[in-house]
Structure 1
Amino acid sequence: LITAEIFRLFVQKNIVIRMPENVPPAVSRSFIALIPSFFCLSLFWVIRLLVESFGNTNVHDLLYSLVGQPLSIIGGGFIGGLFAIMFTSLFWSVGIHGWDLVLSVLQPTWIQMIDENRIAFQNGETIPHIINYTFMNTFVWIGGSGVILGLAILLLVRSKSKYLKELGKLGFPSTVFNVNEPIMFGLPVVMNPLILFPYILTPVVCYVISYTTVAMGIVRPAVVLVPWSMPPIIGGYLATGGHISGAILQLVNLTVSIAIYYPFFKMLDNRTLASELGSESGA
């Protein structure tokens, strides 16, 4: 941020090297960047020397102490994780990608936590963190935000409405890989009062189940950085370092999500079916 502002000020104040107009633009821009670049490099080199000389540390460790550790306390506890889930669902309910917003703050901390878990697991030590990046993606967001895979399964196998059945066929394959936008905007979930309640409730229930079972030692904590697009069952097995408890936990959460979504799905299916039958009779 500071570097960008320095460049802007230098260019606006014309503190740059200007080349003749016949010089190619690519070459001219390179010369324009020389003075602000030299100033930025010198500035941060001095900051580095000061931090190392008087703070007996480096900039990266200093930033972690000032920013990373407080975020670890906020995002690493049960309440912090719960708030992250609630914010994600509430933002998504109005069409804003809530998970990206949450990750913009907590992802560096959560990735560091999963790496600390990995090191402890490899060394045979006690695994320190329940919540981390893999925990959220693998055990809470099964099928993406809102644990939408449960709803996708209902759309695919239980829909009487032609539209919802086709939507299930379209949305289910991508939702298996945690890409749920076809259902989020095709059903839609966004701005849909009938579905928003289970959409917000389901990840909270799955989070509580996951956190409790890991805290009690029933399920091994996540120790591997698994890609967010990993399908369920496989993802849980890999996340826990090849332990069947992770796959079982995902299966339990998926079953719970189907149970929570079912009555709301049924109302939506009946409403959509009645609309379709009315349209056909009117035609």
Structure 2
Amino acid sequence: MNSFMSVLESKVLPVANKIGSQRHLLAIRHGVLATLPLTIIGSFFVILLNFPIDGYDEWIAPYRAALDVPFRFTVGAMALYAAFGVGSALAGHYKLDQLSAGFLSVLAFLITCVVPTQVMETVPGVIEAGRWLPISSLSAASLFGAIVTSLISVEIFHFLIKRDIKIKLPESVPPMVSNSFAALIPTLVVVLLFWGIRYGLGFDINSIITTLVSPLKNLLVGNSLLGGLLTVFLIVFFWSLGIHGPAILGPIIRPMWDSAILENMDTFARTGNAANLPNLFTEQFIQWFVWIGGAGSTLSLVVLFLFSKSKYLKELGKLSFVPGIFNINEPVIFGAPIVMNPILMVPFIVAPLVNVVISYTFFQLGLIPMIMAKLPFTVFSPIAAVISTDWTIMAGVLVILNFFISLMIYFPFFKMFEKQHLRDENKIEDGPVEKKAGIKYA
């Protein structure tokens, strides 16, 4: 066991840390995460439009079109906001003007992914004749195109500014004006490049990228049990090494997660039926049915700590319980610790995998519909599960079932861990023992 842990520390940790700090991956993670408030608020309007109450549809019918507007301009335009966020984040790394970089990213995305539609005849009450930009092109369907075009446009910006290819103004000119003129040449280059690719060569970057990513997306966030297990395993594996799991996988998996839940939300907004949505393994599936108390389903371990005979573990349980209720588990991950702990690492990895299989079975049997809303991760899991599955009570029951199954998986390992703490606490009079970091594992 010691040799295995040494290999992890010497071989795996450096690679994982290098991946987690790569500038483009960090920009994707930060830029996409910045859209979180928009998608959560958009989710509330989806829920508002679809309360499962008799007569509600008829009552809300006169207001439905107006109430749908916030959803369309939050979730429905998510790729547009992500383009600005990713470009701005990458520019921050290069110490470039982030506003200019964000605008360039949006420009590149619009030219590449949004094709104006010509309406020849007016349809009264529906649409006027003229040239229109389809809002559907701004949705999650264009998310991967938005990310790639943003990264390329900022790299062009950086390349030109670094080589001093820009319009220079006297130092007395205010920085805001100077930055705007400095971005003129990069803007021209970006326009000519992406316009030439899209309309000169007829090359649809967004479609190509979406096609290339689709197999991986279908595996990880579609309906594949193998993909769901793989995603969860990698996250808890990295966490057990002391690395923020989503920080490593986030740049790859988060755009897929966001695209998947937004597809579900859009389909539900159109059909009002949560039973036939396209994606099962969304981030919300993992949050509510697998991460009960946080990554590793640690709320069950915290509850066991509350009843421990060890003074330290009992106090840690008290400190970790309230954060755990709101799905924040860093206190127990680093306080127990679970990190690099060969005893607690096992249930920390196994319990979530079991939860995935059980939850997958419930969904496949049709006992619970698909997830159709994106709620804040701090919502109490049973409540969030009920709301995000179109008010399905069985979803809350499943969360509670998974909690007790996780508790049973953790229990024998908890007893071994508790026994070590009790032994060291009893020896404390014979010499100083560091409770947190000095436990010797067998």
Question: What is the correspondence of 1:214-225 to structure 2 with a 5 Å cutoff?
Answer: 214-225=363-374
Gaps of 5+ in 1: none
CA distance in 1, matches of 2:373, 2:156: 40
CA contact (8 A) 1:232 1:250 kept: yes
Cα deviation for residue 281 of structure 1 reads: 5.9
User: Which string of whole-angstrom CA distances, capped at 9 and with x for unpartnered residues, describes residues 152-188 of structure 1?
Assistant: 11112x1111111111111111111111101111111
The residue number in structure 2 matching 1:241 is 390
Q: Distance in 2 between matches of 1:29 and 1:132?
A: 40
Mapped to 1, the partners of 2:158 and 2:275 lie a distance apart of 50
Q: Could you say which residue in structure 1 is the equivalent of 2:321?
A: 172
Distance verdict in 2 for CA 1:43–1:152, change over 3 Å: same
2:400 is aligned with 1:251: yes
Determine the C-alpha separation between the residues in 1 that align with 2:274 and 2:373: 14
How many angstroms does 1:59 deviate by?
4.9
**Letter of the 2:365 counterpart:** M
* TM-score calculated relative to the size of structure 2: 0.58
Shift of 1:259: 0.6
Per-residue deviation, 1:26:
4.2
CA separation in 1, counterparts of 2:280 and 2:172? 62
**Residue 270 to residue 143, structure 1, CA distance change in 2 (3 Å):** same
Q: Distance in 2 between matches of 1:111 and 1:129?
A: 11
Residues 1-283 of structure 1 mapped to structure 2, 5 A cutoff: 1-50=151-200, 54=202, 59-67=205-213, 69-75=214-220, 76=222, 77-118=224-265, 119-120=267-268, 122-123=272-273, 126-156=276-306, 158-280=307-429
Q: Give the deviation of 1:220 after TM superposition.
A: 2.7
- What SS does structure 2 have at the residue aligned with 1:16? coil
Question: How far off is 1:282 after superposition?
Answer: 5.3
- What is the deviation of 1:232? 1.9
Q: Where does the alignment leave 5 or more consecutive residues of structure 2 unmatched?
A: 1-150, 433-442
Question: What is the letter of the counterpart of residue 276 of structure 2?
Answer: T
Which residue in the other structure is 2:17 paired with? Answer: none
The structure showing larger relative contact order (alpha-carbon pairs under 8 Å, at least 6 residues apart) is 1
Q: Measure, in 1, the Cα distance between the counterparts of 2:428 and 2:163.
A: 67
Residue correspondences, number: 277
Q: Letter of the aligned partner of 1:152 in structure 2?
A: V
CA contact (8 A) 1:99 1:145 kept: no
Is the Cα–Cα contact under 8 Å of residues 276 and 369 in structure 2 kept in the other structure? no
What are the Cα deviations for residues 200-242 of structure 1, in whole angstroms up to 9, with x where unaligned? 1010011110011111123333222232222121122112111
Tell me the amino acid that sits aligned with residue 219 of structure 1.
I
Moved more, 17-26 or 268-277: 17-26
Distance of 1:115 and 1:2 partners within structure 2: 25
**What TM-score, normalized to structure 1?**
0.89
- Further displaced range: 14-23 or 240-249: 14-23
SS of structure 1 residue aligned to 2:171: coil
8 Å Cα contact 1:138/1:239 also seen in 2: no
Between the aligned residues of both structures, percent identity stands at: 40
